[in-house]
Structure 1
Amino acid sequence: MKYKTLDLFAGIGGIRRGFELTKKFKNVMSAEIDDYACKTYEYLFKENPKNDVTSNEFKEQVENLEYDVLLAGFPCQAFSSAGKKEGFRDKTRGTLFFDIADILDRTKPKAFMLENVEGLITHKKGKTFQTILEVLVKELNYKVVGVHLDSKGNLIYNPRSFLLNSKNFGLPQNRPRVYIVGFSLDHYGEIAKMIPFKKLPTERKRGPIFNDINEILEKNVPEKYYLSQGYLETLKKHKESQKKKGNGFGYQIINSPGILKPISNAILATGGSGKERNLIYDFREEFVGKKLKNKKTPLNSEGVRVMTPREWGKLQGFIGYAFLDEDGNDKFDFPPGISDTQKYKQFGNSVTIPVIEEIAYEIAKTLDWLESETQTFHKEFVAVAR
């Protein structure tokens, strides 16, 4: 049985692809408003995802859609403490979580998976995360993995149990992210409270995809990715000044000699510090002191460069993994004309696909179990009624 997914805040389709890799899910509708991301998504999946999750027009479309699992990687936003607190419509209005909750309320899918940044669990001293869980459990009637209700109706959970790190899922990137998974009590009844899916998977079961940074580095990287000497000196001065203040901020060369099994820091959508915290030693004598038109000073003499967009793609599982065909040929590519800036942004904004895939396997197993248990219950009920 294939379950149908709705892909919200779709980006370039990382969450969708993670679910598709299990061969248990088929996507039926998507929503993304960034024009560049839409272009890449359409190039990869042959569908244009251009829809606005916040619009009534889209929500009405979704109300008429047959689907099973809602997927969404949404931005973290503060909730207003003002108002009468009349449920999620009042508590979360004006945030993108409100729109997710609204769609869950209107369409009541069998399950959902939400993804967010690590900061969600500490945002507003944990109140934002608590509000989200209360809405999902108490108002929308979902059994959320890792959440229990005590005898007084209080939510019992460990916020850190919702954190999964890409470095434990076969890729050399230190990227903790929050994942929330739930199953519908409206659809499955009390059986949903007994699911065997008690906690999120903490690692990839099938071994590493890339063991460390050295395995993802491209060969013969073009000169444009090398830092100018002036810029490298600026980074060194900044790091030194931060060190004097007792801070550990500043650039990092992640494959420095002596580091066993080097991994990257989390790549960022902005590209900025995501590049500076993930510099690479890759000495090319022919580039030393070379002058380029777009750099104010010659290229550095130490062989230091930024990671390339393709290397970022490997860190997220897009390249070298998620789009391999049966013969092992990599079918991932960007459409013609997409700039490096956009490539960095799109990978940095995306999810680590193998993490999603592992969660998707657990969701599929649980849905299979729920469908089977529900059918058994109905058969027994009918037999007793006769």
Structure 2
Amino acid sequence: MINFIDIFAGIGGMRLGLELACQQLKIKTHCILSSEIDHKACETYNLNFNEFPKGDIKNIDKIEYFNFLLAGFPCQPFSYAGKHQGFGDTRGTLFFEVEKILKKYQPDGFLLENVRGLVTHDKGRTLKTIISKLNDLDYGIEYLLLNSSNFNVPQNRVRIYILGKKGSKPKLTIQSDKGAIDSHSFKKNAIQGNLFSPIHHPIKPLTVKDILEDKVQEKYFCSQDFTNLLNRAVKENFNKLHGTRLIDFRGGNSLHSWDLGIKGECTNAERNLMNLLIANRRKKVFGTHQDGKSLTLEQIKTFYFNDDLETLITSLLAKGYLKEESGKYGPVCGNLSFEVFKFLDPDSISITLTSADAHRLGIVTNNKPRRLTPRECARLQGFPDSFKLHPDDRATYKQLGNSVSVPVVEAVMIDYFKNNLN
């Protein structure tokens, strides 16, 4: 019997993964306590588990007997996107709530989940501190870096899973695997057939097109104004948007404000110059003082060879796509806060879902651009369609961006319980 607590529970993704694993192994489970401070996440949790989580774990003094702990403790302090403050940030100390519970109740084991940045944060010292604290409590530790895309979840999501066992190091057969680095690598490896091991991965992995809904409400389709902007670049073939990001300071498969004519229509020559500038200004030959550098006319002439350079620059300055400071020119990189910032490739995997941007992931279906629906985002995290979503879409997108990928937790728990239950 697994009596477990689910703290920093979110909408219950870790709990669902554990319960599904135990169902397969015919192990009975009972949730002794769930704890979460986000009220709307608690509402979603209650919809699915008929249990409204308790509030802040710091205010819970007594917990009934349990032998396993789940904790997706808040990741912001350790994220690449965060402020890199770790235990210097008050949120970072929430790990010590986990430590305090383990010290007081000494369960047989636990699973902790966090962002991959925890591994390298503060040159690895943060993770070493965590492991040291857990070792001091007589827990043996193993940790895994796993990509959701390796577990039939069409999303590039690498997370750390820390497993502990009281008195000895846990035995595991699953090994760390960060998977494909991006959707392009995923497609290449999937075609070659060498991405997935035959142990726990399917022969044909799911891709984005496999999680799309058949019928989608009109509210998820892009507005006519935004569609018209996109059409300037794709000329009615919206399938060209597959895998495209809307961003001004990167090249590659991207659309920029000058491609869409946000500040005024650009000629082919003007667009070509802007794209060359974006592609070349990051080169170290122009200095290492910053990532994207403003360049002089002479520097621009090393990669733009036509005689119309000064004419184009004058026009682009007037339209507001270029700026000039001290004789150096650089793009005006505004934040393209459009309805969609990334159109997914239906034949590959999604980029990582985040709480901030899950509502702005897009897809093109039947040559019409739209946003992903909440249910599609849930499928990108491996939640079954039986899982009830919050009626507030914005809350749901945030919750799913913060959640775990259920099939990864399920696989990790199956492996742990198979190899470590006496």
**Larger Cα-atom Rg:** 2
Out of 362, 367, 375, which is 1:279 matched to? Answer: 362
Out of 162, 172, 177, which is 1:197 matched to? Answer: 172
Aligned length: 294
Counterpart of 1:254, as a letter, is L
1:325 is matched with none
For residues 118 and 80 of structure 1, what CA distance do their matches in structure 2 show? 16
Say if 2:142 is the partner of 1:145: yes
Say if 2:50 is the partner of 1:46: yes
Matches within 5 A, 1:1-386: 2-22=1-21, 23=23, 24=27, 25-55=29-59, 58=60, 60-62=61-63, 65-76=64-75, 77=77, 78-80=85-87, 95-137=93-135, 139-145=136-142, 162-185=144-167, 192-193=168-169, 195-197=170-172, 200=175, 205=200, 207=202, 211-231=206-226, 233=229, 239-243=247-251, 244=275, 245-246=278-279, 251-255=341-345, 261-270=347-356, 272=357, 274-276=358-360, 278-283=361-366, 303-320=368-385, 331-334=386-389, 338-368=391-421, 371=422
Deviations 1:211-260 (A, max 9, x none): 2111111123122112235446489895244324348998432236xxxx
Q: Does the residue aligned with 1:265 lie in a helix, a strand or coil?
A: coil
TM-fit CA distance, 1:79: 4.3
Deviations 1:295-324 (A, max 9, x none): xxxxxxx6211100010011111134xxxx
2:296 is matched with none
Structure 1 pair 241–197 and aligned structure 2 pair: CA distance change class (3 A): closer
For residues 142 and 406 of structure 2, what CA distance do their matches in structure 1 show? 20
Structure 1 pair 238–79 and aligned structure 2 pair: CA distance change class (3 A): closer
Runs of 4+ in 1 over 6 A off after TM superposition: 91-94, 234-237, 247-250
TM-fit CA distance, 1:44: 0.7
Which runs of 5 or more residues in structure 2 are unaligned? 78-84, 178-196, 234-244, 252-274, 283-291, 293-334
Which runs of 5 or more residues in structure 1 are unaligned? 82-90, 147-161, 186-191, 284-301, 321-330, 372-386
Q: Does the residue aligned with 1:183 lie in a helix, a strand or coil?
A: strand
Percent identity over paired residues: 37
Deviations 1:134-183 (A, max 9, x none): 1112x22211025xxxxxxxxxxxxxxx3111000011111111110010
For residues 52 and 315 of structure 1, what CA distance do their matches in structure 2 show? 29
8 Å CA contact retained: 1:170, 1:210: yes
Deviations 1:180-208 (A, max 9, x none): 001011xxxxxx24x53265475771637
Structure 1 pair 28–207 and aligned structure 2 pair: CA distance change class (3 A): farther
Output the aligned Cα RMSD.
3.0
* TM-score using structure 1 length: 0.69
Counterpart of 1:54, as a letter, is K
Structure 1 pair 282–238 and aligned structure 2 pair: CA distance change class (3 A): closer
Q: Does the residue aligned with 2:31 lie in a helix, a strand or coil?
A: strand
2:316 is matched with none
For residues 80 and 241 of structure 1, what CA distance do their matches in structure 2 show? 32
